[in-house]
Amino acid sequence: MTREAVIEKLNEIFRDVFDDESIEVTDEMTAEDIEDWDSLTHLTMISEVESAFGMRFKMKDISTMKNVGEMIAIICASTN
Amino acid sequence: MSEPITYKTLERAAKQHTGTPISVAVLGNAATQRLSRAFAGALSLSGFDVTCFDAGYDQIDAQILDTDSELYRADPAYILLFLCAEKLLDAFRTTPTAERPLFAEHMADRIRSYLALIESRLRATVFLCDIPAHDDGVFGDYAYSQPMSFPYQMRKLNFLLSETAAADKHLRIVPLSLIMAQHGNTARDERMYLAARMAISDSVTADLALRVAREISILRGAIKKAVILDLDNTLWGGVIGDDGPDGIALGELGEGRAFTAMQSWLKELRMRGIILAVCSKNEEEAARLPFTSHPDMILRTDDISVFCANWNDKASNIAAIQKTLNIGFDSMVFLDDNPFEREQVKAVHPTVTVPELPEDPAMRLPYLLSLNLFGTSSYSDDDANRTAQYIAEAARVKSAQSFADYGEYLKSLQMQAEVTPFVPYWYERIAELSQRSNQFNLRTLRMTAADVEHYASNEDYITLAFTLADKFGSHGLISVVLLKRIPEGWFIENWFMSCRVLKRGMEDFILGTLIEKTGGALYGEYIPTKKNALVASLLDSLGFEMYEIDETGKKQYVLPAGCAAKPTHIKGTAPDPGQNA
């Protein structure tokens, strides 16, 4: 899966989970940038991403991913 | 079959605030925020405007022991209490070895003391999740035979909690372990427990929330009372009119075992108090034949309260059955293998529950069981006798047709009513009738058995339970009145009656009793609902005067001085001492 395709899919998931149609994910984006992104919605987002891409994050990834860019890298690594 | 409702759907629904206000709380020893959101969402889908207090992670002790906690200030009507096995295992591991065989006993004692504290401060029903199976991998399979092991103690704890619930009307056990088993490998996610102390997955959370919300609706009266059955290819395989009694599949013949299994379940429901009725396109004589003569039929003629076999459309026949039984369409379930008939019934009676039965007869019973349609919140032997009562009712209808004068007919019934205060014998039955009565219900305030017990021992209330019998048999408990002391006299806090005994003069008999108990200083109120138009003018017809009506249709009444009850054909009798023990 190309990086662009991953980003496109993530946009859909983020808009749905965080209830904001204007979201455009970027590598630098963090929970600070999105109003509804708290510790609870974080877990919803994780499980939505996992089922959308058919992959699983490691526990370490769930708690230490710093920004969306790191998440995209993990998704790309696990789906290629 | 409809799609399952997901956690996300519930989270969205939780943001809706319309409907009947309800206050609930969630307490747990694990992370409960998502459970709280799902619970609020599930209740919102059931038509409630929810205020949900979430105690936060592991706050059970603080919230219950502190007399001024947010829990007590929130004053919830329902509390969902969730204990995860992982945290119990932590506690088990810090228990000295010698005390481990008593772990379940001690934990059950602690939970009971918490329940007692809650009951002393709140009038709430507690839904306590049972403990899902959690093997700690220490003893292997020997754990299940060894009292020193954690799995053994958890099994024992679950049993002790059910035993506690059997004796404590404020407590209900929620089968979380069953829900977890249904979800298999996706029931929990170790990463989510380690990262966020979430002990159950979102899909389990959603199902748990929906299940408890359904129990709350049941406590508030949303129960199924009757199953209406098609015959050909639903109760037996084949067509009785074509295949004859020897050719229909039942028992060992063909797919017969699937139909026998379905009948056995329906028979159990009948014995639990669910009314069975038949609605079939058939010649009546042919349709009745298997019930009287087929050796493999489990259901017999006397299991069926109303038997409707003709060539009319099914929706019309269901309307006729509804009239005979006098229960709401929304309390009926219609089972038919034919999608065309199901659609016709759904189109005409949208509130009747019409399960989409799988085509394969073998898959139908598992599907019906998965729907969990027949929840109840009480059980008494009146339930078991219900079918006999409805059959006696059919005999009364026939008898009434032979009298020219209705008064003569009433007189011939030799009716005897008995009135008692709320005594323990009646607690469960009163709660049951309170939940079942939607039409003849002045204020639609539901009572749990615990509420009934509370009123029974409170001097500010006069409690009255009425039974009625006639020459055809006993109706059992048929009406309940609760009078509350107010400065001016007595207020009719609650009055509901079974529609089985309408038009017998029972209302007048009850008014006579109320006047006798209070000297006539009586006040009343009618609160309209979608279902109780039947009693909108009840108080007027009994001689009360309305002095106020508000924009919602609520009406306030007072009984004028000197007003007496109309005479009836009902004889009052002294209570049977055996029931008051």
Could you tell me the residue ranges of all domains in chain B? 7-219, 226-371, 401-580
In what order do the strands lie in the sheet containing B78-82?
B48-57, B20-28, B78-82, B125-129, B171-174
DSSP for B134-173, written as a single string: ---SSSGGGGGG-TTSHHHHHHHHHHHHHHHHHH-TTEEE
Give B33's strand partners: none
pLDDT of residue B236: 95
> Other C-beta atoms within 10 Å of B322: how many?
20
Sequence-distant (≥ 6) Cβ neighbours of residue B417 within 8 angstroms = B466, B467, B468, B469, B506, B509, B570, B571, B572, B573
**Average pLDDT, integer, range A12-34:** 89
Q: What residue type is B256 in one-letter code?
A: G
Q: How many CA atoms, within 13 angstroms, populate the side-chain half-sphere of residue B228? A: 29
Longest distance between any two alpha carbons in chain B, whole Å: 82
**Domain spanning A3-79: CATH 3.20.20.70:** no
Element containing residue B20 per DSSP (H, E): strand B20-28
Helices B85-93 and B103-121, interaxial angle, to 10°? 120
Decide: helix, strand or coil at residue B316: helix
| Dist CA B192 CA B205 (whole Å) | 13
- Residues of chain B short of pLDDT 70, as ranges, are 1-3, 384, 394, 397-398, 400-402, 404, 574-581
> Tell me, what's the pLDDT at B82?
95
CA distance A47 to chain B (A): 9
Give the pLDDT confidence score for residue B246 in this predicted structure. Answer: 84
Q: Is A62 on the interface with B (CB under 8 A)?
A: yes
Furthest C-alpha separation in chain A: 32
B31: three-class secondary structure by DSSP: coil
Q: Report CA-CA distances (Å) from B1 to B6, B344, B368, B568.
A: 15, 17, 11, 52
The residue ranges of DSSP E strands in B411-550, in sequence order, are 416-420, 461-470, 473-486, 489-497, 522-526, 545-549
Tokens of B507: 């209302």
pLDDT digits (tens, 9 = 90+) for B525-581: 999 988 888 899 999 999 999 999 999 999 999 999 888 888 898 998 866 544 433
Percentage of residues of chain A with pLDDT beyond 90: 32
Rounded to a whole number of angstroms, the distance from the CA of A67 to the nearest CA of chain B is 18
Q: Under a CB-based contact definition with an 8 Å cutoff, are residues B355 and B368 in contact?
A: yes
- Cβ within 8 Å, pair B196-A44: no
The reply to whether B7-219 and B401-580 are identical in fold is: no
- Smallest Cβ–Cβ distance between B202 and the set A39, A47, A62 belongs to A47
Contact predicate B344/B313, CB 8 Å = yes
Strand, helix or coil at B495? strand
Mutation for B interface: A42, A50, A59, A64, most B CBs within 10 A: A59
C-alpha to C-alpha distance for B76 and B53, rounded to whole angstroms: 8
User: Would you list the domain boundaries of chain A?
Assistant: 3-79
* B7-219 to CATH, choices 3.40.50.970, 2.60.40.10, 3.40.50.1110, 3.40.50.620: 3.40.50.1110
Contact B308, B317 (CB under 8 A): yes
Which residues in B have their CB inside 8 Å of a CB on A? 7-8, 11, 33-34, 37, 190-192, 194-196, 198, 202
Asked if A62's CB is within 8 angstroms of B191's CB, the reply is yes
Report the DSSP beta bridge partners of residue B278: B229, B307
Nearest CA in chain B to A19: B12
Answer yes or no: do A40 and B8 touch at CB < 8 A: no
Residue B305: phi and psi, rounded to 5, are -80, -40
DSSP H or E run through B580: helix B577-580
Q: Is A63 on the interface with B (CB under 8 A)?
A: yes
CB contact under 8 A, A59 and B195: yes
For strand B78-82 and strand B20-28, is the pairing parallel, antiparallel, or unpaired?
Answer: parallel
Distance, CA of B199 to CA of B552 (rounded, Å): 45
Looking at this protein, which amino acid is placed at residue B357? L
Please give the pLDDT value at position A2: 87
The C-alpha of B194 sits at a distance from chain A's nearest C-alpha, in angstroms, of 8
Q: Which two tokens stand for residue B225?
A: 């009372």
| Integer Cα distance of B260 and B280 in angstroms | 18
Provide the mean pLDDT of chain A.
87
Q: Which residues of chain A does B196 touch, with a Cβ-Cβ cutoff of 8 Å?
A: 39, 43
DSSP helix/strand/coil, B487: coil
Residues of A whose CB is below 8 A from B195: 43, 59, 62-63
Which of B518, B513, B563 shows the shortest CA–CA distance to B542?
A: B563
pLDDT on residue B398: 66
DSSP letters of B46-78?
Answer: TTEEEEEEEEEET-HHHHHH-TT-HHHHH--SE
Cβ of residue A57 closer than 8 Å to a chain B Cβ: yes
Contact residues, chain B, for A47 at CB < 8 Å = 202
Q: Which helix (H) or strand (E) holds B424?
A: none
Residue of B370, B339, B353, B317 lying closest to B233 (CA atoms): B339
The contacts of residue B511 (CB under 8 Å, 6+ apart) are B542, B543, B565
Distance of alpha carbon B97 from alpha carbon B94, whole angstroms:
9
| Positive or negative: CA dihedral B229, B233, B238, B241 | positive
CA-atom Rg of chain A in angstroms: 11
Buried b vs exposed e over B39-60: b needs ≥16 C-beta within 10 Å? Answer: bbbbbbbbebebbbbbbbebbb
Contact B202 A44 (CB under 8 A): yes
- CA atoms of B221 and B436, how far apart (whole Å): 6
pLDDT digits (tens, 9 = 90+) for B107-149: 999 999 999 999 999 989 999 999 999 999 999 999 999 999 9
Q: Which of B474, B522, B518, B515 is nearest to B498 (CA)?
A: B474
Return the closest-CA partner of residue B52 out of B63, B64, B38, B66. Answer: B38
Cβ–Cβ gap A59/B196 under 8 Å:
no
CATH class given for the domain over B401-580: alpha beta
Class of domain B226-371: alpha beta
How far apart, in whole angstroms, are the C-alpha atoms of residue B115 and residue B171?
Answer: 8
Residue of B7, B195, B202 with shortest CB distance to A62: B195
Q: CB-based contact (8 Å) between A39 and chain B? A: yes
Interchain proximity B192–A43, CB inside 8 Å: yes
Partners of residue B335 on adjacent β-strands: B229
Cβ contact (<8 Å) for B196 and A39?
yes
CA dist A43 and A31 (Å) reads 12
